[in-house]
Chains A and B, each alone.
Chain A
Amino acid sequence: MSGSAETTQRDQMSPADLKARVMAQVAARPSPDRRTIARETAVLIAASWALAIAVFLYAGGARVMGRPISLVLGTVVGTALATAVIVVVALFRGHSTLSRPPHILIPFLLGSPVAIFLWKISWSWQFAGAMDAWTTRPGFRCLKLGLALGVAPLLAFVVARRSSAPTRPALAGFAAGIAIGCVSALLTDLWCPVGYVPHLFLGHMLPIVILGGLGALLGRRFLGVDPESQRR
């Protein structure tokens, strides 16, 4: 911004001069209003989830593969409830333009993956053979699917919310990564019949953690306020 260099060598401005300078800068740089941003965000998010669903369908979509339908439905409903809560808490900001505070976010971020895992275990426990070991399926395919499902929505979120988190941008990105990871875990549960605990850790839970980490890195870089953007 040109004003920065100028003001180091000038005397203090009067309030009217300062206002005139700010108004001139604002007038010289158009910015999108709420409606434009909402439209852009909707397009971005819809496109990213369409891509994720396409990946999911390409991988085979929802597969029962001999599982009792009550096992599949019970797992998905429980996971969907926990996912819905974390999506609301992590991706929406409520009645504040600042992201939610750590004392609210962190319990949900830690609790949701644990709740999803415990629900999966406790529900599968009731069905004979549902938690048997599958030595040929250690979980790498689920890991790849989970990451492939989550990357595009996470990138779309970061683009849609760029420069919008002046406080704790890394936490905002981490929260988004965890929430999107939970959605991808839900889809992975629909796709994968394995309920073996080491497989669940590697294939279903690890993508949530990786997406959370990726979200934190992206958030730190792109979600915070960037003074350099004013100069561009």
Chain B
Amino acid sequence: MRVPPQTAFAMASLVKNSLVPWSEFGGGASDGRSADARDCHAGTKAWRFAYSALVQPGRDSSNPIADAAMDRYADGDDLAFSDLYDAIVPRLLAYLLRKVRDASRAEDLVQQTMLQVHCARGRFVRGSRVTPWVFAIATRLFLDIARRRKLEVLSDDGDTSREPESDWPCPDAAIETKELGALVRAEVEQLSAPQKEAFELVYFGQMNHAEAAEHLGVTVASVKLRLHRANRVMRNALGESRSPGEAEEEMA
């Protein structure tokens, strides 16, 4: 039987996509095997599911300095807290400023989050990523405080005129004075909640896809899909010639 080239190509893509690189299993690239050999031994999606269920993927971290500092701090090295703070708080504050639109409230949330991290340091799992954990605590505190204080959230009133005020070196500091920043913010608010969440974590929280997936409790593929859809919406809004990533660079 003769297989048309398009069908053969589609089948090859399907097979290739069903294989998972060994590095995604936490095997790392230092196992001395070639990429082909790793692919051959990678297994199927079922194996990936079983493996991730039992072991959960290891570090693919965007912030290894914070991870290392947190590990030291959890082991009882009190001086490591300062390193952890320096490595994670600028990102956290930028992310929270996006959410609360008020510098003093964002700083309050940072304080509370870091205090929770301090109180729960003994329960930090060795070798895990600290960023999704810290952001999860911050998000939970934000939601709790928003509920209790009836905090004005940008997404509730759609008001894009109020700007976060901060001296911190965060993306918003550059956005404030530019029309493009206002446009991006307005468009982000138009995204669906799952897309917005993924977009904010990746672009404003500077998480990688694996960390965002861990924070959201979804697969990496789901995060990529949400970002793809969000990017498409943003691209349409910003103009075809400029992707959100390019807009980010321009704003920075």
* Residues of A participating in the B interface, judged by any CB pair closer than 8 Å: 1, 3-4, 7-8, 10-15, 18-19, 21-23, 25-26, 29, 31-38, 85, 88-89, 93-98, 100-104, 108, 161, 163-164, 166-168, 224-225, 227, 229-230
Chain B residues proximal to chain A, CB less than 8 Å: 26, 49, 52-59, 74-76, 81-82, 85-86, 89-90, 103-105, 107-108, 110-112, 114-116, 118-130, 132-133, 136-137, 139-141, 144-145, 165-168, 213-219
A95 touches B128 (CB 8 A): yes
Known: A22-B110, A31-B121, A225-B137. Contact between A95 and B215, CB under 8 A? no
Task: Kindly state the separation between the CA atoms of A82 and B71 in the bound complex, as whole angstroms.
Answer: 33
Contact of A96 with B125 in the complex, beta carbons under 8 Å: yes
* B218 interface neighbour in A19, A26, A89, A101, Cβ under 8 Å: A101
Residues of chain A within 8 A (CB-CB) of B75 are 33-35
Report B-chain residues with C-beta under 8 Å of the C-beta of A36. 122
- The answer to whether residues A1 and B104 also contact, given A95-B128, A100-B56, A161-B123 and a CB cut-off of 8 A, is no
Closest Cβ of chain B: how far from A145's Cβ, in Å? 30
* Smallest CB gap from B133: residue in A: A97
B85-A167 in contact (CB<8A): no
- Are B105 and A227 in touch, CB under 8 angstroms? no
Contact A167/B108 with A34-B126, A97-B124, A230-B116 known, Cβ cut-off 8 Å: no
B193 shortest CB reach to chain A, Å? 15
Q: In the complex, which residue of chain A has the Cβ closest to the Cβ of B139? A: A166
Task: Provide the residues of chain B in CB contact with A35, threshold 8 Å.
Answer: 75-76, 122
Structural contact, A33 and B125, CB atoms closer than 8 A:
no
A163 to B55, CA, bound (A): 22
Contact A26 B107 (CB under 8 A): no
Alpha-carbon distance A31/B78, docked complex (angstroms):
10
A12/B136 in contact, CB under 8 A: no
Given the interface pairs A15-B167, A166-B139, the reply to whether A3 lies near B128 with Cβ below 8 Å is no
Q: Which B residues touch A168, using CB under 8 A? A: 217
- B120 neighbours in A (Cβ, 8 Å): 31, 163-164
Contact B133–A22 (Cβ < 8 Å) = no
Bound form: Cα–Cα A100–B125 in Å: 13
A168 to B218, CA, bound (A): 12
| Contact indicator A26/B115 (Cβ below 8 Å) | yes
Q: Do A22 and B115 contact each other (CB < 8 Å), given the known contacts A12-B104, A100-B53?
A: yes
From A228, which residue of chain B is reached at the shortest CB distance?
Answer: B144
- Our pick among B89, B125, B129 for the contact of A93 (Cβ within 8 Å) is B125
Which residue among A19, A88, A166, A229 has the maximum number of chain B CB atoms within 10 Å of its CB? A166
**Complex CA distance for A103 and B56, rounded to whole angstroms:** 12
A163 to B137, CA, bound (A): 10
**Chain B contacts for A31, CB-based, 8 A:** 118-122
Contact of A95 with B119 at beta-carbon distance under 8 Å, contacts A13-B107, A23-B82, A225-B141 already known:
no
Give the most central of A8, A23, A227: most B CB within 10 Å.
Answer: A227
Q: A163 with B119: in contact, given A7-B104, A95-B57, A227-B112 (CB under 8 Å)?
A: yes
A7 touches B108 (CB 8 A): yes
A78 to B155 CA separation, bound complex (whole angstroms): 51
* Beta-carbon contact of A167 and B215 below 8 Å: yes
Q: A12 touching B144 by the CB < 8 A rule?
A: no
Flag if B53 contacts A108 (CB, 8 Å).
Answer: yes
- Asked, given contacts A12-B103, A15-B167, A161-B123, whether A22 binds B85 with beta carbons under 8 Å apart, the answer is yes
Nearest residue (CB) in A for B217 is A101
* A to B CB contacts below 8 Å, 22 in the list: A18-B107, A23-B82, A26-B118, A29-B118, A29-B119, A33-B74, A35-B76, A37-B122, A37-B123, A89-B54, A95-B55, A95-B56, A97-B125, A98-B217, A100-B56, A103-B217, A103-B218, A166-B139, A225-B137, A227-B112, A227-B141, A230-B119
The answer to whether A230 and B140 have CB atoms under 8 Å apart is no
**B164 to A, closest residue via Cβ:** A12
| Closest Cβ–Cβ distance, residue B67 to chain A (whole Å) | 11
Q: Are B215 and A98 in contact (CB under 8 A)?
A: yes
Which of B90, B110, B111, B123 is close to A164, meaning CB atoms less than 8 Å apart? B123
